[in-house]
Amino acid sequence: MIGQAKKKLISSLSQKKYRDKNGLFVAEGPKLVNDLLEAGVQAEIIISTDNISLPETGRSVITEIIPPRELQKISFLKTPQNILGVFRKPEAPFHPDQLTDKLSLALDGIQDPGNMGTIIRLADWFGISTIVCSEDTVDCFNPKVVQASMGAIARVKVIYTDLPALFQQTSSDSGMEIFGTFMDGENIYALDLPPSGIIVLGNEGSGIRPETTKHITRKVAIPSFSAGGMESLNVGIAAAIVCSEFRRTTSP
């Protein structure tokens, strides 16, 4: 039976302030836990309903076996899986030079955890190693984000910063293009897109905010081919289309 102190700790990690305070986050399910361990993310506690084989981490990890009903009490999932891990948040030192000559994503006020996790997963798929986010973007270590990222959170660096200040420094230092997704932008299917740059995706309801927009060097749009009344795409879907177009002429 898991102790009350561990229960309290795990429960507290549903809130960002305690994730920040403790430097920890929760991941659930065998694939996700294994992916994080294999990527070298440091596990503090592993809790499972049975004896399972885990990747060799090279360090001692507290592992506990508990009944399924006990795991259900501490799980953040509606349908708990048979393993839960408490991991230390990876340190992600960052300098704007790391964006030079690469394709990167920038998220301006993304709020939905599912969208955030999907975008992290897409970044991993398309070989995008860094995502820079406005400080009000949803926390990448939110349990719902971690689950939706399907392990990509271990391989994609997510940085929270003042986007307008970063863009001003980046554009002045390197001259890198900053692309923004807008309804009135250029048709992305008709553009000759470069292999590097920053792609900005905006808030689900209000899009890219004005103070960020003024630093964008090129507006792009995904045109609608429908005669119906659809006003916009889900930001996760839009991210997939835009990333695919940027990578279309790049050999893996």
At residue 3, the pLDDT reads: 85
Same domain, 165 and 108: yes
Q: Which of 88, 117, 133 is the last residue of a domain?
A: 88
Domain closes at, from 63, 88, 113? 88
Question: What percent of the chain has pLDDT above 70?
Answer: 92
Tokens of 202: 């905006």
| 45 and 166 inside one domain | no
Three-state SS string over 129-152 comes to CEEEEECCCCCCCCHHHHHHHCCH
The rounded distance, in Å, linking the Cα atoms of 133 and 111 is 11
Under the phi-then-psi rule, with left for phi > 0, alpha for psi from -120 to 50, and beta for the rest, what region is 213?
Answer: alpha
**Which CATH number belongs to the domain containing residue 185 in this structure?**
3.40.1280.10
Structural domains counted in the chain: 2
Query: What is the structure's pLDDT at 228?
Result: 67
Are residue 102 and residue 70 in the same domain, yes or no? no
Kindly state whether residues 29 and 75 are assigned to the same domain.
yes
Domain range for 123: 96-247
Q: Which of 58-62, 100-104, 204-208, 221-225 has the lowest mean pLDDT?
A: 58-62
Q: Indicate if 151 and 30 belong to the same structural domain.
A: no
- Residues in CB range of 136: below 8 A, 6 or more apart: 109
d(CA 5, CA 236): 37
Residue 148 within any structural domain of the chain:
yes
What's the confidence (pLDDT) of residue 1? Answer: 65
Asked whether residue 22 falls in the same domain as residue 133, the answer is no
pTM metric for this prediction: 0.92
Here the tokens at position 37 are 């361990």
Give the count of beta carbons closer than 10 Å to the beta carbon of residue 22.
15
* Domain CATH number, residue 47: 3.30.1330.30
Ordered DSSP codes for 30-63: HHHHHHHHHTTPPEEEEEESS-------SS--EE
Residues 33, 55: one domain?
A: yes
User: Across residues 140-145, what is the average pLDDT?
Assistant: 97
